[in-house]
């Protein structure tokens, strides 16, 4: 394997044989050569050094063994920005970009022209939601919570690298806000919503390598949404937008939970670009909460 083309051909074959996506070979080679796709294609017949080949081969073999490409390269793109990721955080997904886009548009509709609104990203992980919202709407005061200090370390690094002003707080769900007696105008969350039963059906690259705490509640996948209903009344501002990412089978269940807790709220289920239920949102006035 003396040329870029030969290295790429070998890697694609190796990954195909292992049952992985062959396209990952190109991603890994782009990372190793620190180049872009157009330059890579223009250099297919260039030679590749032994050191580069050794490092590239190691990355290919690690992915063949099931380690996600993003954990090998240490990065993933979200909303057009590069985020640092490692095994302490969930890898950001395109579906979550749609959640952020929806939340930002809903803010403009519900709070037109208002400044100084407090937005909270609950269970921030890599910080993708919180950081993106802070960068896309600089008028927001954004707080991000997570129960894991290791995740907050990654999120803080991403905020610093991307120049986002976000307050990071360690704690379980909305408890940091409750303890600080803080209220929120916007609450966004992509909680662990995969059921324990469904977890076994996921690919091993996800199931064995991404943090289990960020994937499942260890039960039916609705546990965190149920806890939200108990804690939300304690942190609602006079009017609040709540936006949840959900599993594609959970739309009506989460909608019902919100309506039971806030009967007068505006609650809807939204589908993603693939036509699957992906978002449940509510616009809630504080007085609409049902006393627990």
Binding-site sequence positions for S-adenosyl-L-methionine? 123-127, 146, 190
65 torsion bin: left (phi>0), alpha (psi -120 to 50), beta (else): alpha
Q: Do 239 and 185 contact (CB within 8 A), yes or no?
A: yes
| C-alpha to C-alpha distance for 258 and 126, rounded to whole angstroms | 27
Rg of the chain, C-alpha, whole Å: 21
Sheet architecture: strand order including 277-285 = 166-170, 141-146, 118-122, 184-189, 236-245, 277-285, 266-271
| C-alpha atoms less than 13 angstroms from C-alpha of 106 in its C-beta half-sphere | 28
SS3 289: coil
Binding-site positions:
123-127, 146, 190-193
56 and 11 in contact (C-beta within 8 Å)?
A: yes
Q: Given 3-state DSSP classes, what are the helix, strand and coil percentages for the chain, each rounded to the nearest 5?
A: 45, 20, 35
Binding residues for substrate: 190-193
Give the torsion sign (CA, 227, 215, 129, 163).
Answer: positive
Spatial neighbors of 219 by CB under 8 A, at least 6 apart, are 195, 196
The count of other CB atoms within 10 Å of the CB of residue 252 is: 12
The structure tokens listed for 188 are 């966004």
- The closest alpha carbon to 175, from 120, 132, 218, belongs to 120
């Amino acid at each position: 394997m003396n040329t870029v083309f030969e290295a790429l051909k070998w890697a694609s074959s190796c990954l195909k044989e292992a049952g992985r996506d062959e396209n990952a070979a190109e991603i890994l080679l782009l990372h190793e050569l620190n180049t872009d796709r157009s330059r890579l294609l223009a250099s297919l017949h260039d030679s590749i050094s032994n050191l580069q080949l050794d490092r590239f081969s190691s990355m290919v073999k690690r992915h063949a063994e099931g380690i996600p490409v993003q954990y090998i390269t240490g990065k993933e793109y979200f909303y057009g920005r590069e985020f640092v990721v490692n095994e302490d955080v969930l890898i950001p997904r395109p579906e979550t970009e749609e959640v952020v886009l929806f939340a930002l548009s809903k803010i403009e509709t519900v709070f037109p022209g208002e400044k100084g609104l407090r937005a909270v990203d609950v269970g921030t992980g890599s910080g993708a939601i919180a950081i993106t919202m802070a960068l896309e709407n600089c008028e927001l005061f954004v707080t991000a919570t997570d129960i894991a200090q290791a995740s907050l370390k990654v999120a803080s690094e991403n905020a610093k690298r991307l120049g986002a002003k976000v307050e990071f707080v360690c704690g379980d769900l909305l408890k940091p806000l409750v303890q600080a007696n803080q209220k929120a105008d916007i609450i966004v969350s992509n909680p662990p919503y995969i059921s324990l039963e469904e977890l076994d059906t996921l690919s091993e690259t996800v199931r064995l390598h991404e943090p289990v705490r960020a994937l499942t509640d260890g039960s039916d996948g609705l546990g965190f949404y149920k806890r939200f209903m108990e804690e939300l009344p304690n942190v609602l501002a006079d009017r609040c937008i709540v936006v949840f990412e959900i599993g594609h089978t959970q739309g009506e269940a989460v909608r019902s939970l919100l309506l039971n807790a806030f009967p007068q709220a505006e609650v809807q289920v939204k589908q993603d670009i693939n036509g699957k239920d992906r978002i449940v949102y509510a616009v809630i006035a504080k007085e609409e909460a049902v006393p627990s």
